[in-house]
Amino acid sequence: MTIALIPGTFDPVTFGHLDIIERAARQFDEVVVAVVAAPAKPAALFDADERRAMLAEVTGSFPNVAVEVFGGLLADYALARGAAAIVKGLRAVSDFDYELQMAQMNYRLSRVETLFMPTAPEHSFLSSSLVREVARYGGEVSSMVPPEVARRLKERFAS
Ligand code: COA
């Protein structure tokens, strides 16, 4: 059984992430969406449990997709889960330098390959931080995130 790991912060999950998850689920026996517990970035809007719960809701219809929270090094987690590959979406050339560096580091640490998948062009401008910013000021995000996520964003910024 080949397992692919799709790691990320997912603060929150967008249609761009979902597209990558759905396409990877067609290529691998099992896909594990790995939610980083403590993101390297400034404080997350949603805690790890909330980010996991949103992903579980929106990937519930894919029978071979599981959502898990991990801490520590991704390379160690990939080895522990027996992953054949780490799958990442590339939105534009600007993603490439950083992604290449991470892929090479993860390979050095674990010998697990990273496979890049081009993000669907209709989602290539999307990022979680932009979605958060639009939602924070009351903008419409329903074409960028699933309805459950849009609802949670609305609730978070109303409080
Ligand atoms: N569609 C839409 N947006 C996408 C996307 C897609 N297909 N793919 C990535 N993005 C966006 C995300 O929304 C996010 O946007 P933001 O910066 O506005 O929040 C951005 O791309 C970066 O994604 P993120 O999920 O934060 O991933 P990352 O590439 O920065 O890496 C981990 C996150 C978890 C993979 C990485 O930090 C990690 O491996 N951490 C564990 C510790 C470790 O092993 N460190 C050494 C790594 S070599």
- The neighbour count for residue 132, using CB atoms within 10 Å, is 18
Distance from Cα 95 to the centre of ligand 1, integer Å: 10
> Is 124 a residue of the active site?
no
For residue 95, which atom of ligand 1 is closest to its CA?
Answer: 21
- How many angstroms does the Cα of residue 23 sit away from the middle of ligand 1? 18
User: Which residue's alpha carbon is nearest to atom 38 within ligand 1?
Assistant: 74
Q: Which residue in 51, 81, 123, 128 is the catalytic one?
A: 128
Is the Cβ atom of 127 under 6 angstroms away from ligand 1?
Answer: yes
Q: Are 20 and 89 in contact (CB under 8 A)?
A: yes
This prediction has a pTM of 0.95
Q: Identify the residue whose tokens are 């790691």.
A: 7
The model's pLDDT over 105-127, given as tens digits with 9 standing for 90+, comes to 999 999 999 999 999 999 999 99
d(CA 77, CA 53): 20
pLDDT beyond 90 at 23: yes
Measured from the CB, is residue 114 less than 6 Å from ligand 1?
Answer: no
CA angle, residues 74, 61, 64, in degrees to nearest 5: 45
How far is it, in rounded angstroms, from Cα 159 to Cα 14? 22
- 65 contacts 59 by C-beta, under 8 angstroms: yes
52-65: pLDDT as tens digits: 999 999 999 999 99
> 3-class DSSP state for residue 81?
coil
CA distance 82 to 23: 20
